[in-house]
Amino acid sequence: MSEDGKDLDDDGAAPGLRKIIHVDMDAFYASVEQRDEPELRGKPVAVGGDGPRGVLTTCSYEARKFGCRSAMPSATAKRLCPDLIFRRPRFAVYSAVSRQIREIFLEYTPLVEPLSLDEAFLDVTEDSHGIGSATRIAELIRARIRAETGLTASAGVSYNKFLAKLASDQNKPDGLCLIRPGEGAAFVATLPVRRFFGIGPRGAEKMAALGIETGADLAARDIDFLRRHFGLQADYLYRAARGIDLRRVKANRARKSLGAERTFDKDISSGSALREVLERIITITWERIEKSETQGRTVTLKLKHADFSNLTRARSLPRPVASRAELATIGHTLLDEVLPLAQPVRLMGLILSHLDGEEAVSPPPVGGAAQLPLL
Ligand code: TTP
Ligand code: MG
């Protein structure tokens, strides 16, 4: 592992290995509360109910110094840290931040697999922006998150998901850790088995009873021993103990459509005013299309009347819309078809669908990745 900015390629890694980043926000809910309520900064903060049956969803790093943890009963946390400040969760705000960070991830790769609101795997094997290394991409993403959300994230960089997730936890908060090819087994060897994904407190106890405390202890057991004691989990454990993980990053549903819309301050009915707004919407939509490297065949114009009823008009081409000019021509033709309006509208949107760009960038099978260039 390394923090010196050297990256996966610097040690002459065998081609074919993937480059995976795991990003995880630091003390997520608590950090959002500290961001939005500056008096809370630098103080022990818990998010959750403080009643007799309350439980912490999480707590700030200041509170962790006292031993407070996620899922701990609030009463226990208060005993450990009498000055602990409680806040109720505000899920709508956390979801909004989650969408913001996801948008940032998607600017660097379409292969983003969110695991929860605050963490995701990214496969950056294809360095589509020519940034140069997975570590640099991770640093850029961390800087963007800080600039755009006012929050810190930690990142792990490695050649598979198992190691990237362990790495993101290694230098928290606001840290980065790289585990290079060839270093995975050694990294795992010193790790307590309870840090392995999928091994809970009960699993760790069972292992301790068998004399297995660390990754090295696990690696010393053969596959038959593991199958006898851990059944279906055996293959996973056997590989994990060697720093091997064959799982691919599974990008969530490919995006089905892309577009932009505007809600007006005052309802509009004049054709010329609508054409003006449409021009702006076309510009934003086309920028988004270019950024996402997708192409689409169907253009839909959407209007919402003052009474909230919708009016849509769509046009499909036999091939993708090729340019901004073409998108504009279609958009304005659709608008002309609905003019003059029977009643004023409060919102106008333009949507491009039947996207086909997503398939073009789907990941190669793990075993067939050898031809991929290194970053
Ligand atoms: P985590 O990423 O596990 O924790 P965290 O972001 O608070 O702290 P860090 O990553 O720096 O260790 O979880 C993300 C959010 O999910 C967390 O802020 C609150 C919520 N959560 C729960 O509601 N219950 C839980 O048991 C856990 C672990 C998290
Ligand atoms: Mg987190």
Mean pLDDT of the chain: 88
Ligand with smallest separation from the Cα of 94? 1
CA distance 179 to 177: 7
Please answer whether residues 69 and 91 qualify as being in contact, where contact means their C-beta atoms are separated by less than 8 angstroms: no
Q: For position 200, what pLDDT does the model report?
A: 86
Can you tell me the mean pLDDT for 183-207? Answer: 92
Least confident of 2-11, 233-242, 286-295: 2-11
Angle between helices 134-149 and 91-108 (to 10 degrees): 140
Whole-model pTM: value is 0.68
**One-character DSSP codes across 16-48:** T---EEEEEETTHHHHHHHHHSGGGTTS-EEEE
Q: Does 26 sit in the ligand 1 pocket, CB within 6 Å?
A: yes
Protein residue closest via CA to atom 21 of ligand 1? 57
Any idea which fold 16-179 has?
Answer: Alpha-Beta Plaits (3.30.70)
Q: How confident is the model at residue 142 (pLDDT cuts 50, 70, 90)?
A: very high
Supply the CATH classification number for the domain 257-355: 3.30.1490.100
Residue owning tokens 């439980």: 55
Point out the ligand 1 atom lying closest to the alpha carbon of residue 172.
11
Distance 301 CA to ligand 1 centre (A): 41
Residue owning tokens 């200041």: 62
Q: Which residues are catalytic?
A: 119
Q: For position 372, what pLDDT does the model report?
A: 25
Residue spans of the domains in the chain: they are 16-179, 185-240, 257-355
DSSP state of 173: S
For residue 13, pLDDT over 70 is answered with no
For residue 236, pLDDT over 70 is answered with yes
Which residue out of 47, 55, 57 has the highest number of ligand 1 atoms within 8 Å of its CB and is therefore the one to mutate?
Answer: 57
* Winning range, highest mean pLDDT, from 134-148, 188-202, 301-315: 134-148
Point out the ligand 1 atom lying closest to the alpha carbon of residue 26.
11
Distance 111 CA to ligand 2 centre (A): 20
Residue owning tokens 């480059």: 19
Q: Does 70 sit in the ligand 1 pocket, CB within 6 Å?
A: yes
Q: Write out pLDDT tens, residues 35-54.
A: 999 999 999 999 999 988 89
Q: Write out pLDDT tens, residues 47-103.
A: 999 988 899 999 999 999 999 999 999 999 999 999 999 999 999 999 999 999 999
Supply the CATH classification number for the domain 185-240: 1.10.150.20
Q: For position 232, what pLDDT does the model report?
A: 87
CB neighbours of residue 273 within 10 Å = 12
Distance 28 CA to ligand 2 centre (A): 5
Protein residue closest via CA to atom 24 of ligand 1? 57
CA distance 34 to 44: 10
Distance 161 CA to ligand 2 centre (A): 16
Q: Write out pLDDT tens, residues 333-352.
A: 999 999 999 899 999 999 99
Q: Does 245 sit in the ligand 1 pocket, CB within 6 Å?
A: no
